[in-house]
Amino acid sequence: MAGVEIEALEELAAREAIRQQLHNYCRAMDRRDDPLGYAVWHDDGTADYGPGIFQGRGRDFVDQVSRNHLRRLAHSHQIATVGIEVAGDRAASEAYVTVRLVSAAGDGFTEELYAGRYLDRWSRRDGRWAVDHRVWVLDFGELDRPVTGHLPGGGSRDTADPSYALFRDLRD
């Protein structure tokens, strides 16, 4: 292969590794898989969700979200429209994010919906892409008033979720 083709393949591989890490982040948040969440950041990686929300190490942010999700009935993090630029062992990404949180309220529940973007600086260290620094940009948020009803189930907010068995079976 020519040098230009190899560089193009390396850039594609970097973009895919970063996309996978973004997926890992959502999975870690929704399944409360803290070790998976920790691995999205480098050990010295940081997160800035704004004053009064969170500013500090990525690992500590994962811990905070995991505790917060214990008081929720359901939560879902989704990422779409990801733009990534790669420059050697460094990269930057902008990912559009939707977060939905459901909490108990009286005989019903409330829903919070947040839409925003993750502005991430990445680096590849020892062959692994991870976040050096994340900034959360909130574009809008909504709070729906209590609604009486029952939330359907099927999934699990931990590693007992059926998706873990799916991928484990593939590896076995």
- Asked if residue 123 lies in contact with residue 42, where contact means CB atoms within 8 angstroms, the answer is yes
- The answer, yes or no, to whether residue 153 has pLDDT greater than 60, is no
CATH number of the domain to which 163 belongs: 3.10.450.50
What percent of the chain is predicted at pLDDT more than 70? 93
For the stretch 53-56, contacts whose Cβ atoms lie closer than 8 Å and that sit 24 or more positions apart, written own/partner, are 53/136
Residue 106: the pLDDT is 81
Quickly state the pLDDT bin for 4 (edges 50, 70, 90): confident
Quickly state the pLDDT bin for 146 (edges 50, 70, 90): low
- The answer, yes or no, to whether residue 154 has pLDDT greater than 70, is no
Half-sphere exposure of residue 147: CA atoms within 13 angstroms, side-chain side: 10
- The answer, yes or no, to whether residue 98 has pLDDT greater than 90, is yes
* H-run or E-run covering 14: helix 3-31
Residue 5: the pLDDT is 92
List, for residues 11-47, the tens digit of each pLDDT value: 999 999 999 999 999 999 999 999 999 999 999 999 9
* H-run or E-run covering 172: none
What is the distance between the alpha carbons of residues 6 and 144, in angstroms, rounded to a whole number? Answer: 50
**How would DSSP label each residue in 96-110?**
EEEEEEEEEETTEEE
- Number of domains composing the chain: 1
Average pLDDT, integer, range 96-121: 92
Average pLDDT, whole number, for the chain? 91
List, for residues 59-79, the tens digit of each pLDDT value: 999 999 999 999 999 999 999
Higher pLDDT, 121 or 165: 121
**CA dist list (Å): 13 to 4, 19, 27, 37, 129:** 14, 10, 21, 21, 10
- The answer, yes or no, to whether residue 83 has pLDDT greater than 90, is yes
What is the distance between the alpha carbons of residues 171 and 74, in angstroms, rounded to a whole number? Answer: 29
Domain span holding position 40: 3-171
What is the distance between the alpha carbons of residues 166 and 89, in angstroms, rounded to a whole number? Answer: 32
Q: Which of 85-89, 109-113, 149-153, 157-161 has the highest mean pLDDT?
A: 85-89
Tokens of 109: 């529940």
What is the distance between the alpha carbons of residues 32 and 137, in angstroms, rounded to a whole number? Answer: 23
**CA dist list (Å): 114 to 50, 77, 105, 134, 165:** 14, 10, 19, 17, 30
